[in-house]
Amino acid sequence: MSAQPEIWRVSTYEGVFETDFQTLQQWIVEGCVLPTDKVSKGKLNWIEAGRVPKLKSAFNGEIEMPPPAESAETPSSTNAWQTPPPFGSTEPFEPVEPEPDKSNGQSFREGPPPNVCHNHADVAAKYLCRMCAVALCENCPRFVGSSKIPVCPLCGDLCRSYEEVTSKTARSEFQSSGFGMDDFVRAVKYPFQHKAALLGGALLYGFLLLGGFRGSLIAWMIMFGCISHVISQVAWGRLNRSFMPDFSSFSLWDDLVVPIFLGVGITIVSWGPVIVLVVALVFGAIHSGTASVDPMGQVQAAHQQAGLNNEDLSVLTDPNADPQKLAEANRKMNQQLRPGSQLAEEAERSKAAHSDPTGMMSQIMPLLGAGILLLLLLLLGIAWGIFYYPMALTVAGYTQSFLSVLNPLVGLDTIRRMRATYFKAFGMVLLVQFAAFIVGGTVAFILSPLTLPFVGNLVANFINGSITFYFNLVIACVLGLSLFKCADRLGISVD
């Protein structure tokens, strides 16, 4: 009775595999298993492959692996990886000889992998050897171990799923193709890949906008939730996923609280300076206006300052009082008994100040300088909001962190690493926003006869809300694609 072959388990970065000892030695010789990888014989404990005495000769290159053995049950002209035709077929079985290796020692062939089996030209490929890039059908590989791991019959290396390899290859080529107008066209078409979700989301968003403050708040939450969802999914390479979040497993925190906080953070970091300056200008104007139109208050203050005290009363009643003190006390008494004189004096002072251009300019220049400074700061704040708003959306999408959104250094560092890609995406975002403005204005103009008193134009508001939903999805897809094309520089793990 023949002895059972040794079963070894190998743990690499690609997964855990079971194989026999000879195949394990072959993998070591070919560099597929490293000394730091973990191996286990049977059910024994895991150990580094380089510490196993029986495997040291393979790591030192002291053994030479024989070519793949031919099956004893097949003729010499038929290789072990060939399979007969299906049962009942009347066509004669002709063995297919392997093509000679023309790679001059190179492991991988140039160009895309073939889509048919290497041995059966009429059978679609299901596996692809990771070393020699030979495509094989489901019957051609050798399967080792209890888990039936596919192994290439030509070189003995592991085989991968053909669909997985080709999809990764196509995604890698797409990622390295650069960011340009093709991606903009792809973003414009992206919402239409899921027409039902687009129609339902647009109608829901437009309807909620008609529900007052609460409805608008819910619509705003849904919008930011969809934007962050699209950016994160596209940035990870999931271009075929739906842009609507999965509400079947609704989470109060993930689906409600997080989008609200992200939206608040985006507003603060991008438009916060403008909001602060506008509030400062409004309150400053109100304060200066109330201070400048209160002449009676100034008169009352002057009266309080010029009011009679006990010393003045004693001077007035003393017949031997000092003439200067008596004159000062009489002046104060006249001001209190005749308040109109104080108004006249204030009017004379104001008239003199207006007639004196030097004094007038001395009062205007500080106000004019402060106004120019605030205006420049306001323009800078608007420029910052326009420039940084797309990056704030981007950071919110791929980090899902409120603190990261609030920190402009995170966004500026992302711009630094994305380099020209962000500026291309920024230009595309401006183009989409301009198109949304034109379309919204056209809809409002066409439907202006439907405006009703007290409620406004509900039809135009509903349609513009639906259009806004679509354009925001396009912006999110543009930003997500820009992140996907820079995933290697940003450390984003794409699928």
Residue spans of the domains in the chain: they are 7-59, 102-176, 181-278+377-490, 286-376
* Residue 19 pLDDT: 82
CA-based max dimension of the chain: 150
Instruction: At 163, list the tokens.
Output: 């669909």
* Residue 146 pLDDT: 67
What amino acid occupies position 205? Y
- Measured at the CA of 331, the angle between CA 330 and CA 333, to 5 degrees, comes to 65
* Cα–Cα distance for residue pair 37/356, rounded to 1 Å: 91
**Do residues 21 and 57 lie in contact, with contact meaning Cβ atoms separated by under 8 Å?**
no
* Residue 90 pLDDT: 41
**Do residues 226 and 472 lie in contact, with contact meaning Cβ atoms separated by under 8 Å?**
yes
* Residue 108 pLDDT: 41
**Do residues 405 and 266 lie in contact, with contact meaning Cβ atoms separated by under 8 Å?**
yes
* Cα–Cα distance for residue pair 89/199, rounded to 1 Å: 52
Helix H or strand E encompassing 140: none
Instruction: At 5, list the tokens.
Output: 């072959």
* Residue 412 pLDDT: 93
* Residue 416 pLDDT: 92
Pick the CATH number of 7-59 from 3.40.50.280, 3.30.1490.40, 1.10.3130.10, 1.20.200.10: 3.30.1490.40
For the chain of 495 residues, list the mean pLDDT of each consecutive stretch of 10: 67 75 81 80 80 81 57 37 38 43 42 73 86 86 79 83 81 83 92 88 87 82 85 84 68 75 89 86 62 50 55 68 73 62 61 57 61 84 92 88 91 92 94 93 90 82 90 93 89 72
* Residue 162 pLDDT: 85
Q: How many Cβ atoms from other residues are within 10 Å of residue 280's Cβ?
A: 13
* Residue 409 pLDDT: 93
- Coarse DSSP helix, strand, coil percentages of the chain, rounded to the nearest 5 percent: 60, 5, 30
pTM of the model: 0.59
* Cα–Cα distance for residue pair 159/167, rounded to 1 Å: 15
* Cα–Cα distance for residue pair 43/23, rounded to 1 Å: 18
